[in-house]
Structure 1
């Protein structure tokens, strides 16, 4: 991955344009992310992923997607099966802990198989935010439950299942989006909860899973920790909370820098996120002029950021287990049928 730069980019449509090919080859993003706009047919998607890996220059070029189950799925039938929302696994866990944990592992493993069928090798799961009463519904049933221990247990199982299938998991949204009072796609959420209370709830699942290889930041302003900058742009939050209190030493990628929670020029925002301690910045809307601004801010990966990125690519480079997928699908269906 020599020369890869500290950003993740997204193509605009279902094939790479000549301009995109040239831009990606010249600017060398570390990885790419795909959305529904990029997905047509099986053959088309496989070809697009192959093109991105070719321009990335490595078999382990990370190709990300958001495939959680429930309402967050970029791949939909018939391209991939539909799965219950993470909250449904939490319901099973509440009645049978062993069955719930096994179902979580199976969902992670099956999600990995579904995306790997197209060469996609990184999934932005698990979502280990802990929602609270009165929070915005943007997390909602994407959470495994309302108890930090439950969320941590099931999130770990999903991540382990993904890695067993050769897919890099990305836990999100560190240090916790569950209390957000707004949808960060549209505006900046603010959380005024005292830090010591956040530590016992919101931070707890991330602390329990701090050995996972990658995490995505929350575009949230935690006013008791840093009243000026949201987590993605806050050296205080990244150094003091994410790296020290939570103890996470994996790759830290920003949430999408083009979301409305952040305001300002994309160059300035990207430079600020990297300066604050993000290892890579994520840009998702595929707009070329915005990507150029992000790329200008993203220097070649070096030092600790490169070490962490290399560790993520090592996960991608693992050989998936040899499980018989149809047997796993049958087992998963039987477990989830227990909750009706």
Structure 2
């Protein structure tokens, strides 16, 4: 695995981007994202997927090209939660009812082992799952069909079963959406939801599954695009120093990799230069941006400027990313 001291600044900055792309094979633009922007990872969506064989060829080609360019292995990620969020379809095993039907440790473990094995076989090494959001009893929000059943403690326990099972099969788990979006009724793909629940209430409920996952060794967490006004009335969690530095890293002691949710969502109302600066300020490691545009170049350019101004914070972020890639390589089944 590359060491940060052996990498150029462009290579370091690229590690902080996970991006989407167009096409189903190694196109010239995808090569550009790897060899010029030097992205650290990619995410596949339904338009990138024709069949398991095609995905396997694509993943192999991307990893081979990254190696040819002298870069660390790519994170190759997908949203495969089961239920309504499952990018890979048959002949992979489908879990049509998703997390709400995974109400026992055995069911959660079976989902994680099956999904991890099948994703790894076609070349993925990261799943944007499990969802650790908690839906309050008697409440039906935007996440109703995507959350595990039960109390915060039960959600955490079931999430850990999925997380550990995925990683046993060589696929890194990314727990989400910190600090919890189970209480929201608006969709951050379309607007910026506001949540005024006090932090002390969140600490007894929404944060509990994340505490359980962190204690079990969770290595990566995705931040939500929800504005938690009791914590930070200016920025959504994904761009908030109070949420990330104050709660996630400070209060909860998480020292793993942090990433935004998709920066293309309508909940992100600022421009990409501002978003990039906030990512640095908030101590977020990876920007996730899922739809090809010139925003990729804006993020990379602004990250490079910020890395020059704040080299220590940048080095810590890249170090966490490279350490996670080392874990990814070490956990891969033989």
Instruction: Report TM bin, short chain.
Output: 0.7 to 0.9
* Aligned-pair CA distance for 1:35: 0.6
Aligned to 1:316: 328
Measure the CA separation in 2 of the matches of 1:10 and 1:134.
37
* Aligned-residue RMSD, C-alpha: 2.0
Q: Residues 68-87 of structure 1: matches in 2 within 5 Å? A: 68-78=81-91, 80-83=92-95, 84-87=97-100
Cα distance in structure 2, aligned partners of 1:195 and 1:153: 22
Structure 1 regions of 5+ residues with no counterpart? 91-99, 323-340
Within-5 A mapping of 1:166-185: 166-185=170-189
1:160 equivalent to 2:173? Answer: no
Residue in 1 aligned with 2:310? none
The equivalent residue for 1:246 is 252
1:26 is matched with 36
C-alpha distance after superposition, 1:129-158 (max 9, x if no partner): 002368664311211124100011000110
Structure 1 residues 170 and 199: CA distance shift in structure 2, 3 A = same
SS in 2 for 1:173: strand
Q: State yes or no: 1:11 paired with 2:34.
A: no
Q: TM-score, normalised by structure 2?
A: 0.87
Q: Secondary structure at the match of 1:229?
A: coil
TM-fit CA distance, 1:201 = 0.3
Match of 1:54 among 53, 59, 64: 64
Q: Which moved more, 1:296-305 or 1:56-65?
A: 296-305
Q: Does 1:43 align with 2:53?
A: yes
Question: Partners in 1 of 2:255 and 2:86 — Cα distance?
Answer: 28
Relative to structure 1, is the Cα distance of residues 190 and 263 closer, same or farther in structure 2, using a 3 angstrom cutoff? same
State the Cα distance separating 1:56 from its structure 2 match. 2.8
Change (3 A) 1:235 1:302: closer
1:114 paired to 2:81: no
**Does the 8 A contact of 1:181 with 1:191 survive in 2?**
no
Give the one of 97, 102, 123 matched to 1:89: 102
Contact 1:213–1:308 (CA under 8 A) maintained in structure 2: no
- Count of paired positions: 311
Q: Is the 8 A contact 1:258 1:266 kept in 2?
A: no
Alpha-carbon distance in 2 for matches of 1:195, 1:319: 35
Distance in 1, matches of 2:145 and 2:18, equals 27
The corresponding residue for 1:65 is 78
SS of match in other structure, 2:176: strand
* C-alpha separation in 1, matches of 2:176 and 2:268: 18
Cα separation, 2, equivalents of 1:23 and 1:128? 31
Distance 1:169 1:120 in 2: 11
- Describe the SS at the equivalent of 2:81: strand
- Structure 2 counterpart SS, 1:33: strand
TM-score (norm 1): 0.86
* Rounded Cα–Cα distance in structure 1 between residues aligned with 2:53 and 2:191: 37
- 2:281 corresponds to 1:275: yes
CA–CA separation in structure 2 for the residues paired with 1:117 and 1:174: 29
What corresponds to 2:300 in structure 1?
Answer: 295
Tell me what 1:331 maps to. Answer: none
